[in-house]
Amino acid sequence: MGKKLSILVLNLAFLVSCGGEEKAKIQPAHKEKPREIARVTTPVFNQDSAYQFIQAQVDFGPRVPNTEAHRNCATWLETTLKSYGATTLVQEAVVTAFNGDRLNMKNIIAQFSPEKTKRVMLFAHWDTRPVADKDTQRKSEPIDGANDGGSGVGVLLEIARQLHQTEPNIGVDIILFDAEDYGTFEGSISSMKDSWCLGSQYWAENPPIANYRPAYGILLDMVGAANAQFPKEYISMYHARKVVEKVWTTAKKLGYGNYFIEKELSQYQAITDDHLYVNALANIPSIDIISYDPIENTFGDFHHTHEDNMDIIDKNTLKAVGQTVLEVVYQEQ
């Protein structure tokens, strides 16, 4: 994902019956028992499957807007989600990048059990960085984006496969945002204020689904590298603290506390990511599960370099994130 650090602080009725001259005795109101909803057993997240979904994306080549790899991957993503029984929609538009490039963007939306009122939104970005601007060589070439882009999508595709096999009590929407990683290049100067996350900005300002109000959203970004740690990100805590605590408590219960650490990022470590615009523009409380080193203030040495390839993807990390998100979804009532 195209990350930069920013300082962002957003914005009984009583029924009385009378008969003749004598008041009838008021009978206690009949209380119906609340409808019991059976808990659904959470499926087992398959990290091998998620890994293969990441590999499939990387095999297309860098998924940079306006390229053949991008077009082919978009078709595959839509087809794959349809194969798991999702009602799919592709939101297409042309957006302008910070440098004037006109990008053919595709937000891919998959709804599971669209008839259900209570819903949760899971999202990631599927495009990749058009340059390796943090590398020391081949800086002008696009990157594989196995972790930055590929990992979040890979986890969500495996979750989609599980949703098809075992239906939870709630509806789930998976949204794959485009044009997230085309933000300002290192060393460049731009007057564009919000150059990252163009797909989620467009989606929030042009809602493809009328009156869409999920209970909350969970963003997965850079969730596949070995020894990843996910701190409690500042914007997530500001807008959706209860959701953060729900997810982190679930992870700890499952034994993944070494990944979902208790460290809270400061205001000065707030991360510009798709969840920012889902919160600020769409007013949907959303959190970001993102790997970040709060001591070194870095997303990893491989971030926005050619080292962001399949060699850094770790199945244990995929399992920790995928199983945690599955547990959160399937225990909702």
Asked, for residue 207, whether it belongs to a domain, the answer is yes
Residue 75 falls within a domain, yes or no? yes
Mean pLDDT of the chain: 91
What is the CATH classification number for the domain harbouring 65? 3.40.630.10
Q: Is residue 240 part of a domain?
A: yes
Give the Cβ contact number of residue 261 at 10 Å: 15
The pLDDT, as a whole number, for residue 39 is: 80
- The four Cα atoms 186, 220, 233, 278 give a dihedral, to 10 degrees, of 90
How many whole angstroms separate alpha carbon 61 and alpha carbon 67?
Answer: 10
Give yes or no for residue 22 having a pLDDT over 60: no
Q: Give tens-digit pLDDT for 88-142.
A: 999 999 999 999 999 999 999 999 999 999 999 999 999 999 999 999 999 999 9
Cα 179 vs. chain centroid, distance in angstroms?
15
* Cβ neighbours of residue 63 closer than 8 Å, sequence gap 6 or more: 57, 69, 70, 73, 126, 127, 128, 145, 149
Asked if residue 91 is part of any domain, the answer here is yes
Q: Is residue 11 part of a domain?
A: no
Give the pLDDT confidence of 175-201 residue by residue, as tens digits: 999 999 999 998 888 889 999 999 999
> Does some domain include residue 222?
yes
Mean pLDDT over 146-163 rounds to 99
Domain that holds residue 153: 45-330
Q: What percent of the chain has pLDDT over 90?
A: 86
Residue 29 domain-assigned? no
Strand partners, 175: 109, 123
* Total of domains in the chain: 1
pLDDT single digits (tens) 27-80: 444 455 555 677 889 999 999 999 999 999 999 999 999 999 999 999 999 999
Whether 291 is covered by a domain: the verdict is yes
